Structure 1
């Protein structure tokens, strides 16, 4: 009878106080963040902007620079410096030639420090030259609490980043098709090897079905670091933990909390709109050019507002952009979309259609009339 009574009490609590069952994650990491990938909205954070040692999650930057270099099919020759780099390795031999593509797989799946140096020397001309590219890329991405000393992440007093900066980097990298393919691979067989490399990211290979990629890291000084990505119900999340002894659990807990409490809500759609510049002016038409989805809780969905801003002389100017539609949550701007002249939007479509008809005429060899 007592057990039944306790069960009823728990049920009542969950029904009338659901927030208790949706408490924010308790994270073992000293630093953590959960970010929605497409918008950059931070859903959860813990000391997210503090600069810390990051270990091998550094290699996300090394990988994306290598991919964007356009040299993935070139072969890099392994130097003596590369093979004697301490720490995790894919066991390159001095003088061995391996494609950058294979090296990036070895970098991301097996965390090869020798692969990191071989990549950096080939693409940057030297390890120092490549590190310069890493820091320039970090500045360009707005990673304001980041500085790289090397391409692999071995400890250095001036090699650091923050959970927030690493989430920015991973969000950017995941937009690249090749990067997504590599980080999401459970294994890979290099043309230079007779055995496959298995991915060290156990979230991807064992623990979490929704995981789409990531990178592990560890040194004795830094502790365990982890960046991971997951996708469920049309929402993509990025999680980062630094110095987290229970990082697999941390990431699963953050992902599940995020997927439970947030939905990607469409707040704007591509469509024609009508408006007046003032009470006495005639009705004008425009075109909102973007579909916008934003991660929102159930309570937040009703709080999103928008404001349409149109330039004063919209009826006279000839430019395509005549204004913008800005969206707010609790008074804070969260997104915006341009408002275009409806006529120009239609003209663009007409031009595309006419180009298609012209191409069809060339292929078929006869005139096409509509």
Structure 2
């Protein structure tokens, strides 16, 4: 008996004095859930994240970003008979009513107007079917491999599905757009066509979570509650998605609090002069990094980050000042990469190709990394 007591005391002692590895992962009510860091795309938490499921009105994130990118926000769309008779949530368009695409996007995102979704799709895509084609083309471009859109609003269809991970990729992309961030972060909006204001249905943004920066709700009886949201705290931006989640508000809050508690944005390389040994070479070379590179890490993960430098083969159309790249690894898995330049950043406007490469660097996490 004394031996058992000693074992129990030993266990209790080391349970409280041993190394801290972070809080237990959050429990969520959702059948599918994911939490990612926005700037890198790193998955921090996942539960059935790649399963193909119905997604309801979080579909409208794709509809909104396509509308914004169309350049037609200041054009007016006429509400068709099809639009006004679309079932479900509505901003109560009348047949023939003309409304700015900008207003329709706010009605789409804040009030989840299915009529607004159809009006947007018909004006921008020429037809709902034409717009759905654009949605699926965009999804393929973003690497949303478990996604197929069948409509612009998210009403149930056997051919309309996505995954929590794919929708996080979409939200991550959309949040890079200033106009989208403005729309999704708006709590109340008034159209010139209305005598009253629209209030945002996203209670995380309006009531429940002060760190929330945007999102979109969704619900159908068949699909259940779906939610996509974003939050910012302690210099880190996170995105959460839940599908079929009876307690979605609390799911998102618990995931966010866990993420902010357990991860920090660490600098894995600072801009400036960079000494490196290219792969296959024995000699040290000097280059320059033009931007600090950050990555979300927890605990002592920073000690497991390694890097390898590679020289790039010169091409006639490549920027002359790019001489290589450095790839960063966490536990031998690639997590990020940065271009190496022959000279320091002089503050001048980049050439077109250099600028595209810089943008690519910012979104490169879309198709990777643990």
- TM-score normalised by structure 1 residue count: 0.85
* Corresponding residue for residue 91 of structure 1: 92
Uncovered stretches (5+) of structure 2, i.e. residues with no partner: 1-10, 351-370
1:66-106 alpha-carbon deviations (Å, 9 max, x no partner): 00000001010111110000000000111111000000000
1:295 maps to 2:296: yes
Contact 2:277 2:309 in 1 (8 A): no
Change (3 A) 1:67 1:351: closer
* Corresponding residue for residue 159 of structure 2: 158
Write the distance in 1 (CA, Å) between the matches of 2:255 and 2:51: 19
Name the SS of the counterpart of 1:26 in structure 2.
coil
Write the distance in 2 (CA, Å) between the matches of 1:80 and 1:109: 22
Change (3 A) 1:202 1:275: closer
Q: Which has the larger radius of gyration?
A: 1
1:234-273 to 2 correspondences below 5 Å = 234-273=235-274
1:272-323 alpha-carbon deviations (Å, 9 max, x no partner): 12456756x6x6431122311000002212211112233699xxx9932222
1:135 maps to 2:136: yes
Write the distance in 1 (CA, Å) between the matches of 2:45 and 2:259: 8
* Corresponding residue for residue 169 of structure 1: 170
Write the distance in 1 (CA, Å) between the matches of 2:41 and 2:100: 33
Contact 2:226 2:242 in 1 (8 A): yes
Question: What's the CA shift for 1:350?
Answer: 7.3
More relative contact order in 1 or in 2 (CA 8 Å, sep 6+)? 2
Provide the aligned length of Structure 1 versus Structure 2.
Answer: 335
* Corresponding residue for residue 63 of structure 1: 64
Name the SS of the counterpart of 1:90 in structure 2.
coil
* Corresponding residue for residue 220 of structure 2: 219
Change (3 A) 1:28 1:191: same
Change (3 A) 1:235 1:350: closer
* Corresponding residue for residue 112 of structure 2: 111
Name the SS of the counterpart of 1:215 in structure 2.
strand
Write the distance in 2 (CA, Å) between the matches of 1:28 and 1:227: 15
* Corresponding residue for residue 44 of structure 1: 45
Name the SS of the counterpart of 1:266 in structure 2.
strand
Write the distance in 2 (CA, Å) between the matches of 1:116 and 1:78: 10
Write the distance in 2 (CA, Å) between the matches of 1:209 and 1:124: 37
